[in-house]
Amino acid sequence: MLTTIAGLPAHPLLVHLSVVAVPLGAVLLLLWALVPRWRAQLRAVTVGVTAVAFLASVVAKSTGEALLPAMGLSEHSPGEVGPHAQYADLLVVAVGLCLGAGVCLYAAERWLTPQRFARRDTLVLVLRVLAVLVALFALVMTALTGHAGAQLVWGNFPH
């Protein structure tokens, strides 16, 4: 795994893609689910952004794990990094759920018709509600993960 970039730890450099892509994907998913007139325009872009967000969160988590040995820590003994790592685990799950909800909603809206699937409207409504819930979960996990990470870096910074 990539541990450094130009001699600097990779994690703090690469984590910024996740910091931008995850909330952007979550907000797009919320708008897609909640604003009927934007649905057709947001489908593909939302799935694309959430796919990037998922990959970015996996890379951020992986580079964070790779940084542990340099700090004298491990995944089994993460020390003070533990809360940040636990939040990161949940963040990856949350973003994966956003991607899954987006793909399922895309498929249902795009290819299912009432003639093909009698309960299409019910399924689409359920998927939209699920999309809202997982998007909110992703936003909360982004904030918690980022806050815990910032506390590690800046917690002792004089105020």
pLDDT tens-digit series, residues 72-101: 999 999 999 999 999 999 999 999 999 999
pLDDT at 120: 94
* 159 occurs within a structural domain: no
Instruction: Give me the helices (H) in the chain, please.
Output: 10-34, 39-67, 82-111, 120-154
Q: What is the pLDDT of residues 46-74, one digit of tens each?
A: 999 999 999 999 999 999 999 999 899 99
| Phi, psi dihedrals of residue 30, rounded to the nearest 5° | -60, -45
* 112 occurs within a structural domain: yes
Whether 159 shows a pLDDT value over 70: the answer reads no
CA-CA distances (angstroms) from residue 1 to 11, 61, 117, 125?
Answer: 11, 11, 45, 41
Enumerate the β-bridge partners of residue 5. 8
In this prediction the pTM is 0.93
* 3 occurs within a structural domain: no
Domains of the chain: total:
1
* 23 occurs within a structural domain: yes
Confidence of residue 158 (pLDDT cuts 50, 70, 90): confident
Q: How would you class 66 by CB atoms within 10 Å of its CB: exposed for 0-12, middle for 13-18, buried for 19 or more?
A: middle
**Distance (Å, whole) CA 93 – CA 76:** 19
Domain interval for residue 121: 8-154
